[in-house]
Chains A and B, each alone.
Chain A
């Protein structure tokens, strides 16, 4: 399982729908659409792998595959970086 952290060039701003992430390097804006996803993104660096972060954020286990896909996409677009 990969381990992630918020990319150091990304700013995260809480919003009613979740959060907005902005990358100061590539200047891309990303919508994060639910609070649990935001919690995972914020806390990912504290856990040894992605499943640890998902469990800590209270994501039900049956939803983990979907979240893993979303997180991999966030890593591709450099909102997250792999550790």
Chain B
């Protein structure tokens, strides 16, 4: 039986659960998936966070991917980390590094059950800071140094691949190697504030082919299986080549709403809330949205394409936020079917929501290629 068949019946619990703890962030990255900035007064209380961990333990969720916002800004972040580990729920958390002091790094290095992922979006300060804000590269690399000094091996350096950094893949690999860290590359999605910059920053067709070959040559690179649409170029990439939304993956947002994946913070993909009767368990196992997502999908416009088995029509979120029907081609379809679909869909893009973006001047400009 294929992995896809096994998963299509639905799992008792997600394999890859992303849990965003806060919309608060001390950065304002131009491509933020969750349009983070200000904390939301409705965010889960510490007691509610612990209640979610209790549920995850009972469901035997092996680990959670914690993010935000910047999760370490929550005053109860470290308590949650301890509570999760005590309850056999492993934690991998994403951070911009600003709170990873030498003391924090030592604490993190002392347990196997916590993994850390530091985000950078350029292999040098110029490229990175254009996306993530002035000074953010130095902050991130300082944190990497603290982790390495504390003996934390194999932490992750996480990069969203863009038009401006795709030529730095070897540099990212070298950066990771220099800290004994692992490189993780993920796809730029037109979600959150990413919708505003996607047209300028998503990789070109030629860059996609370069990226695909690089990933085949570097099979140890982590990707969260986010480039499965590139498998239509030939040999499949390692990992799960299908959209896991609601089947393998889901997202709990800072106010406890449960979405089908981390890239679709939109009412249409909201399955329920951990605050509902029955909690997260009932949302995962019984929500009508997740039940529907677990049914075999229609190949739609891609039915006659010989590559459908390889790419499964691509990423649901990328289609939705560019206005392409969910049974249409991925906007970055490697056979070029996305371009016509994008033109046809240009009027149908869902209106951007400001989310929790802080008001005031945007701190950085984009679109400039690094020298």
CB distance from A60 to the nearest CB of B (A): 20
- Of B5-13, B32-40, B72-80, B118-126, the stretch lying at the interface with chain A is B5-13
Which residues of chain B from 105 to 147 have any CB-CB distance to chain A below 8 Å in the complex? Answer: 112-113, 115
A16-B9, A17-B9 given as contacts; is B15 within 8 A of A29 (CB)? yes
Report yes or no: A13 in contact with B63, Cβ–Cβ below 8 A: no
Query: Does any Cβ of B come within 8 Å of A77's Cβ?
Result: no
Report yes or no: A20 in contact with B15, Cβ–Cβ below 8 A: yes
Docked CA distance A20–B14 (Å): 11
Query: Does any Cβ of A come within 8 Å of B62's Cβ?
Result: yes
Report yes or no: A15 in contact with B12, Cβ–Cβ below 8 A: yes
- Please indicate the chain A residues that have their CB under 8 angstroms from the CB of B15 in the complex: 20, 29
Map CB proximity to B onto A1-20 as digits: 1 under 8 Å, 0 otherwise. Answer: 00000000101011111001
Report yes or no: B88 in contact with A13, Cβ–Cβ below 8 A: no
Report yes or no: B3 in contact with A31, Cβ–Cβ below 8 A: yes
- Please indicate the chain B residues that have their CB under 8 angstroms from the CB of A15 in the complex: 6, 11-12
Report yes or no: B62 in contact with A22, Cβ–Cβ below 8 A: yes
- Please indicate the chain A residues that have their CB under 8 angstroms from the CB of B112 in the complex: 9, 24-25
- Please indicate the chain A residues that have their CB under 8 angstroms from the CB of B1 in the complex: 17, 33
Which residues of chain A from 1 to 60 have any CB-CB distance to chain B below 8 Å in the complex? Answer: 9, 11, 13-17, 20, 22, 24-25, 27, 29, 31, 33
Select which of B6, B10, B60, B115 is within 8 A of A13 by beta carbon: B60
Report yes or no: A31 in contact with B6, Cβ–Cβ below 8 A: yes
Docked CA distance A17–B13 (Å): 13
Report yes or no: A13 in contact with B9, Cβ–Cβ below 8 A: no
Docked CA distance A83–B88 (Å): 25
Query: Does any Cβ of A come within 8 Å of B90's Cβ?
Result: yes
- Please indicate the chain B residues that have their CB under 8 angstroms from the CB of A9 in the complex: 112
CB distance from B371 to the nearest CB of A (A): 38
Q: How many A-B residue pairs have CB under 8 A?
A: 38
Select which of A11, A27, A29, A33 is within 8 A of B88 by beta carbon: A11
Q: Closest B residue to A25 by CB, please name it.
A: B112
Map CB proximity to A onto B56-87 as digits: 1 under 8 Å, 0 otherwise. Answer: 00001011000000000000000000000000
Total residues of chain A contacting the partner, CB 8 A: 15
Report yes or no: A17 in contact with B6, Cβ–Cβ below 8 A: yes
Report yes or no: B12 in contact with A24, Cβ–Cβ below 8 A: no
- Please indicate the chain B residues that have their CB under 8 angstroms from the CB of A16 in the complex: 9-10, 12
- Please indicate the chain B residues that have their CB under 8 angstroms from the CB of A17 in the complex: 1, 6, 9
Select which of A13, A24, A25 is within 8 A of B13 by beta carbon: A13
CB distance from B187 to the nearest CB of A (A): 21
Q: Which of B3, B6, B62, B88 is the most central at the interface, judged by chain A CB atoms within 10 Å of its CB?
A: B62
Report yes or no: A22 in contact with B11, Cβ–Cβ below 8 A: no
Report yes or no: A27 in contact with B60, Cβ–Cβ below 8 A: no
Select which of A11, A27, A31 is within 8 A of B115 by beta carbon: A27
Q: Closest B residue to A29 by CB, please name it.
A: B15
Report yes or no: A11 in contact with B12, Cβ–Cβ below 8 A: no
Docked CA distance A33–B115 (Å): 28
Report yes or no: A24 in contact with B9, Cβ–Cβ below 8 A: no
Map CB proximity to A onto B21-60 as digits: 1 under 8 Å, 0 otherwise. Answer: 0000000000000000000000000000000000000001
Report yes or no: B12 in contact with A14, Cβ–Cβ below 8 A: yes
- Please indicate the chain B residues that have their CB under 8 angstroms from the CB of A29 in the complex: 15, 62
Which residues of chain B from 247 to 305 have any CB-CB distance to chain A below 8 Å in the complex? Answer: none
CB distance from B103 to the nearest CB of A (A): 24
Report yes or no: B11 in contact with A11, Cβ–Cβ below 8 A: no
Q: Which of A9, A17, A25 is the most central at the interface, judged by chain B CB atoms within 10 Å of its CB?
A: A17
Docked CA distance A22–B16 (Å): 12
Q: Closest A residue to B154 by CB, please name it.
A: A27
- Please indicate the chain B residues that have their CB under 8 angstroms from the CB of A24 in the complex: 62-63, 90, 112-113
Which residues of A come within 8 Å of B, CB atoms?
9, 11, 13-17, 20, 22, 24-25, 27, 29, 31, 33
Which residues of B come within 8 Å of A, CB atoms?
1, 3, 6, 9-13, 15, 60, 62-63, 88, 90, 112-113, 115
Instruction: Name the 7 nearest CB pairs between A and B, nearest first.
Output: A22-B62, A13-B60, A17-B6, A11-B62, A25-B112, A16-B9, A24-B90
12 A-B contact pairs sorted by A residue (CB < 8 Å):
A9-B112, A11-B60, A13-B13, A13-B62, A16-B10, A17-B9, A22-B62, A22-B63, A24-B90, A24-B112, A24-B113, A25-B112
